[in-house]
Amino acid sequence: MTNARDLTHDPKLRSWVPSANQADCDFPIQNLPFGRFRPHGSADALRIGVAIGDQVLELKATGLVDTDDMNALMARTPAERQALRAAISAGLAEGSAEQAAWSALLRPQSGVELAVPCRIGDYTDFYTGIHHATAVGLLFRPDQPLMPNYKWVPIGYHGRASSIGVSGQHFRRPQGQTKAPDASAPTVGPSKRLDYELELGFLIGRGNALGEPISIEEAEQHLFGVTLLSDWSARDIQAWEYQPLGPFLSKSFATTLSPWIVTMEALAPFRAKFTRGAGEPQPLPYLDSAANRESGALDITLEVWLQTSAMREAGQPAVRLTRGNSTQAAYWTAAQLVAHHTVNGCNLQPGDLFGSGTLSGAKPEEAGSLLELTKGGKEPIELPGGERRTFLEDGDTLTLRGYCERDGAVRIGLGEVSATVDPSPR
């Protein structure tokens, strides 16, 4: 099982890589996330790397794998993945016989180009954040903030894989149709209500054959890992286009991922119970299992930081906008998303991406979007230096951070994902 602890999670385990042993390090030896990299400025093929401290280990050169195809690695069985994790952990541990040879295979993360961590063929964005769904629903449908199906079926839409980028991305403010309430016809122009959405990305490992659903009991075996996901949204374009078929151009212009996939195995110490409150509908049988109820949720702290161009020019650091937790935010677990996505026979493939949807908490300081923070743009937030924001402006850099902390376990992080808004071409 991917949620079983073993020697790789031992809090006493230390690495011969000094930076991996520092307090609050995102990538201690208990983490070992996967990504793809190449030397800065090179046209080399991407290689599979493992983050350890502030370094990246070139995996194929260790001899533990014979491929630099991340999707092929992701397609391995859970047992094979656990064996690989154990071997990497043993080789990076203090006293390892591999230290001399593997030292030459380390590269500073600051000296390499990090890419989208795998080939993403398909992308589905879900809507699991019930507090976000409720808050947004109240803005537009005060009498019925949640649609009748919300608490019964995981809601999602098919996103655009071609516009997914990696942390450090610059993207242009999107253009599209909008319609003012008092206008007789829509107009085309740059979005004036550009927003972010704080999400997790779940990446599929092994796929399934067309026509063969994945049961809730087997769903965890098909999940490879988790990354941070920044889902950009043009709220004004979205409001005009989303009925009756849902988001389209308001979402497809950019999505930004962290370069690192934290494996389900690494997250084993940070699992949580999945529960529904009194009076809430319980999941239908195909979305319910004893294992999912016992440990289907993930306990991840999530933060949003903003640095404007004026702050950057003045040498001021980014300011934290919100901090929340995925356990309280998500109405559905990752395993339930897999089971529901395939109940109709849909075939998943290694590297397919699921967005969690905006993970907002119940409190204002846990909101996962500016739409919520500013009450639909009616209440601007105050920033250092006197700046105000209702939605994102050109030059703004938005950063998401995630980490797991729990007594009896070493803190691990998901790294961060940042992107900057550039002006529209018009």
Residues annotated as catalytic are 132
Residue 138 CA: distances (Å) to CA of 92, 131, 134, 141, 363: 51, 11, 6, 5, 15
CA distance 135 to 228: 22
CA distance 178 to 188: 6
Contact 126, 357 (CB under 8 A): yes
Residue 69 CA: distances (Å) to CA of 59, 72, 82: 11, 5, 18
CA distance 289 to 292: 5
Tell me which DSSP letter residue 275 carries.
-
Of the candidates 306, 327, 310, 278, the residue with the CA atom closest to the CA atom of residue 373: 306
Contact 222, 262 (CB under 8 A): no
3-state secondary structure of 235: helix
- Contacts of 353 by beta carbon, 8 Å cutoff, 6+ apart: 120, 122, 123, 124, 159, 161, 164, 201, 202, 203, 204, 229, 257
Cis peptide before 244 (omega within 30 of 0): yes
CB atoms within 10 A of CB 251: 25
Terminal Cα-to-Cα distance of the chain (whole angstroms): 52
Bridge partners of 106, per DSSP, are 57
- Residue that is written with structure tokens 């920044």 in the block: 230
Bridge partners of 187, per DSSP, are 178
